[in-house]
Amino acid sequence: MPASPPLSPARKGAGLVFISGQLPRRDGAMVTGDIRAQTEQVIDNLEARLASEGLGLGDVVKTTVWLTDKSFAAGFNAVYAARFPEPYPARSTVVSGLIADADIEMEAIAIAR
């Protein structure tokens, strides 16, 4: 089995950039704490991945978010609304378990520039 999952951090196609799921990892370790702290880290990681493609949060048109508990929605939404510019991306939010030891994962689709 490979040391890391078989995926690309980002792929371009059809004028879009598809960003793989971002976890609340910093310096290789999972960020612990409440959903707000984890969401901040996930968005920091997403922002860094977008920057590597010459993009920013304003270029994101769609996100998919996984939360491990529906009670995290309010804290997550507060951080999301503060970090993403309007108009907000279209979004799907799913409550389910994650493979990683985290309470949130987020993937994104952005317009390529």
Q: Per residue in 53-109, pLDDT tens? A: 999 999 999 999 999 999 999 999 999 999 999 999 999 999 999 999 999 999 999
- 59: DSSP letter: G
**How sure is the predictor about 3, in pLDDT bands with cuts at 50, 70 and 90?**
low
Maximum alpha-carbon separation in the chain:
42
- d(Cα 12, Cα 5) in Å, to the nearest integer? 19
Tell me the sheet residues that pair with 90. 62
Q: What is the pLDDT of residue 6?
A: 82
Closest C-alpha among 103, 106, 107, 105 to residue 34: 103
Flag whether pLDDT at 10 surpasses 60: yes
Residue 2: cis peptide before it, omega within 30 degrees of 0:
no
Q: What is the pLDDT of residue 52?
A: 95
- Read off the pLDDT of residues 17-68 as tens digits, 9 standing for 90 and up: 999 999 999 998 999 899 999 999 999 999 999 999 999 999 999 999 999 9
Its CATH class, for the domain covering 20-111, is alpha beta
Task: Give the start-to-end residue ranges of the domains of the chain.
Answer: 20-111
- 28: DSSP letter: T
Amino acid occupying residue 34: D
